[in-house]
Structure 1
């Protein structure tokens, strides 16, 4: 390969060669033709050409083209062709796709399955950290951060079902493991939906006072201020009786599922939740 051609591939972050997958990436990143790239990603999968990457990339492009349900079916149909290492990234993409197309029960089930893998010590290949990639940059993710992220997603899913008691329990556990201002906002919203405005206001004040990580994020600050305004105006009082309430039994089940989780010590053996036998049985259901 000549120097100019090599530089071209480096700049555009596409592999070299003349295969269906290379053609798909060229259409996606250089020619900006998402529909054409999807067609060639299909061809790459059928030809056995970099199937792991082809399926993941195709699903992402489909999501961007508002074809999330098609992407879900594609992953379900072809993930058996992918390597073991590709399964976790495919699950992460599925979670986003379920969220995109409103498949909340499926999202909850998958999140519980991923949480169970952490409990069993199967996440991160038994290690306490993993290397992740975002926007072309690599960074380290700890198992605590991954656990908190999954719980945050689970809390959001429960909120979409207006199951605010369950969402509150999950968000509180996420904050115990790896606190941050964004999840604190969601927890405050859960409390507001249950007309517990004083508790919500106190939590939001912690964000405004910079007591939580990422409190200086402009979007989080704006959202915090909007929620504070909502509390002050008491506008939610007029609709609180219209919000479905979570039964005591439901909250008790969530608390039982989450209540015994203990902080993870990175210097001790996995699994993280080694003392929680009830969690394993319930999460498998």
Structure 2
């Protein structure tokens, strides 16, 4: 009887473990675990946010609870509230969690259109890399995207941050600063996406020949990501824009040239006008 009870308990435990694995839930029944259940299984973000708050106040996995709550708030268009939450409670989080919280803050600033704050935080993170303080002093860090883990080097992270900084400058229409940042990013870790953004910077500055030269690198497949369908599609859109701008520039040049020709013709005509008047007067006299 004892063995049967033990076997039943074991099967129940295995079933619970399988459930947690399938739904990517942490084990247990704490406020944080329940919050994740409402976030991932029930798809009830409001209930999840309430439970994440409870987890933070109870000291239950505060690092993860604060970050996850901010992400859910962003999805619910509560980005301003998420920013305040991180600023208010990040001192309860470990040193190891601060970098991840900064990354979430950058996305939140971007969502709210707080460009100055976004730029300042990106600069701060770049300064930390220069001072050797990024990744908690390690050469790589583990990142996650679409449920998959992968390693990120300091070089890749530097280029990524520079790319984000360049885009923030673009939103401020500071194309000169954006160009400088994108060029630096391309020297460190080039890719097709940043090349397209650099091309856009040059187009905004009406430097069309340089913009085309940057795009050629992507079209020729010389950059990582050149074969990506999205990158090639964007590259073609930029090329079409360049062709349109080139035609418009040629048309403008023709109109300017025509205006100058008309001014010259009018000037010459005004000089000859008295002569024409004398000829007409003489012709009229002969007619009489």
Q: Same fold (TM over 0.5)?
A: yes
Superposed CA RMSD in Å reads 1.4
- For 2:157 and 2:219, locate their aligned partners in 1 and report how far apart those are by CA, in whole Å: 25
Q: Please, what TM-score do these two structures have when normalized by structure 1?
A: 0.81
Query: What secondary structure sits across from 2:186 in the alignment?
Result: helix
Structure 1 residue 135, shift from structure 2 partner: 2.2
* Conserved 8 A contact 1:131-1:138: yes
Q: Please, what TM-score do these two structures have when normalized by structure 2?
A: 0.80
- For 2:124 and 2:110, locate their aligned partners in 1 and report how far apart those are by CA, in whole Å: 16
- For 2:84 and 2:248, locate their aligned partners in 1 and report how far apart those are by CA, in whole Å: 42
- Matched pairs, number: 238
Q: What does residue 213 of structure 1 align with? A: 224
Asked if 1:11 corresponds to 2:19, the answer is no
Task: Point out where structure 1 has 5 or more consecutive residues left out of the alignment.
Answer: 239-285
Q: How does 1:162-177 map to 2 (within 5 A)?
A: 162-177=173-188
Point out which structure has higher relative CO (alpha carbons under 8 A, 6+ apart): 1
- For 1:14 and 1:54, locate their aligned partners in 2 and report how far apart those are by CA, in whole Å: 13
* Conserved 8 A contact 1:111-1:154: yes
Asked if 1:188 corresponds to 2:199, the answer is yes
Query: What secondary structure sits across from 1:131 in the alignment?
Result: strand
- For 1:136 and 1:161, locate their aligned partners in 2 and report how far apart those are by CA, in whole Å: 33
- Of 167, 190, 196, which residue of structure 2 is paired with 1:179? 190
Q: How does 1:1-285 map to 2 (within 5 A)?
A: 2-234=13-245
Can you list the C-alpha shifts for 1:194-249, whole angstroms capped at 9, x where unaligned? 000111011112111111110011111111100100000018969xxxxxxxxxxx
In structure 2, relative to structure 1, the CA distance for the partners of 1:5 and 1:186 (3 Å cut) is same
| Runs of 4+ with >4 A deviation | 235-238
Q: Larger % of helix: which? A: 2
Q: What does residue 259 of structure 2 align with? A: none
